[in-house]
Amino acid sequence: MLMDHKPAMMTQTPQAHFDLSEDQKQFQELAHSFAENEIRPVAPDYDEREEFPWDVIQKAHALGLMTYGFPEEYGGTGASALTQCVVTEELAWGCAGISTALGGTGLCATPIVISGSDAQKKKYLGRFADTRKLTLGAYAITEPDAGSDVASMKTTAKKVSGGYVLNGTKHFITNGGLADVYVIFATMDPSQRADGICAFIVEKEMGVQAGKKERKMGIRASHTAQIHLEDVFVPEENRLGEEGEGFLTAMRTFEHTRPDVAALAVGVARAAFEYAMDYSQQREQFGKPIARFQAIGFMLADMATEIDAARLLTWRSAWMLDQGLPVNKEASMAKRFAADTAMKVTTDAVQILGGVGYMRDYPTEKWMRDAKIMQIYEGTSQIQRIVISRMLTGW
């Protein structure tokens, strides 16, 4: 009977607080200034031309904005996961496409931080962090027939003397074809599914071939493309972790990066909300600003509430990650809620602006296009719900 049900005990975790440290505030100010002065002025043009923002990337790299989260011993500042979320929100407020382009190298570096040897970290993280020369990274796991079902990948790794030979095609790869260094996942035995997957650090010069560049609905300033591997030899020292540990590395990577993707979604939603708020206070109909009509005021209230809730979920997951706590469920909650919030808020922003919001002369339609990918990449909102429900029920 229901009356006999006892509520489950909540796991106790150390108490978090909501104050940013002085260092975090400085990172936030640096990122916001960069977004305001270097990203926003050029974002519409890069979106229109669907071109990679090399000049912005170079400037961000010179400032260390692409690698500040690396451990200090490998050229970063050792910034916390929470600090990285604070920075990502500001950069995404500038432009989600350019922010995605900036984040591609960090995504590549994450599995190296998680599973790499000290020698691998010194070599590749140090190379990424060297501000004298830009080195782009890419993370290659998705395939034409292996999206949400990662374990069904067909890219193969065959053990040979001194290393492995990789064959296959990767799909929807951020920085694909442009990157200098890739982390590529391949299976040694497709019948073993997850247990057969390995991760490799593969340099472009080893034979990675650029494939089709995708023409996207949104985040057009980021470069998304296929890559092809044809008998690419990878030395054994470039394998990440042990054989068969690639799937675990991939899942741990997502656990670390989903809070950051949630922060990106928060940044896009905030940009759209701020613009809609300003517009609604200036646009007059029936003799008064439209913000004073309940229909619009309630939309703004919901937008502000949901953005704050998304940010709090994001910060909680990042804070738990910094404490070394299990964060799989919380990271998926943050990513799911923030992504869905970004889609809803940007759609409502277009609605508040009405006809002009639909026009390309105004930024709201771009934010709406950009927001959609938040519900898809690094695990769809549906996959996040699967993760959350499994963590809740244990099935």
**Catalytic site residues?**
378
- Name the DSSP class of 287: T
Cα–Cα distance measured from residue 246 to residue 370, given in angstroms and rounded to the nearest whole number: 30
DSSP 8-state symbol, 90? H
Query: What sections of the chain are H helices per DSSP?
Result: 22-34, 43-49, 54-63, 81-94, 96-115, 118-120, 126-129, 246-282, 294-322, 328-353, 364-372, 381-393
How far apart CA 182 and CA 127 sit, in angstroms, is 13
Q: Is the dihedral angle over the CA atoms 81, 86, 92, 94 positive or is it negative?
A: negative
Q: Which tokens sit at 155?
A: 């890219």
Pairing, β 181-187 against β 137-140: parallel
Tokens representing 384 are 């996040």
What are the DSSP E strand ranges found in 175-238?
A: 181-187, 197-203, 209-213, 224-235
Backbone angles phi, psi at 12, to 5 degrees: -85, 130
Question: 243 near 198, Cβ under 8 Å?
Answer: yes
- Own/partner long-range contacts of 140-143 (Cβ < 8 Å, ≥24 apart): 140/170, 140/173, 140/176, 140/182, 140/183, 140/184, 140/185, 140/227, 141/170, 141/184, 141/185, 141/250, 142/170, 142/171, 142/172, 142/173, 143/168, 143/169, 143/170, 143/171
User: CA angle, corner 40, sides to 32 and 292, nearest 5?
Assistant: 85
Distance, in Å, from the CA atom of 334 to the CA atom of 307, rounded to the nearest integer, reads: 11
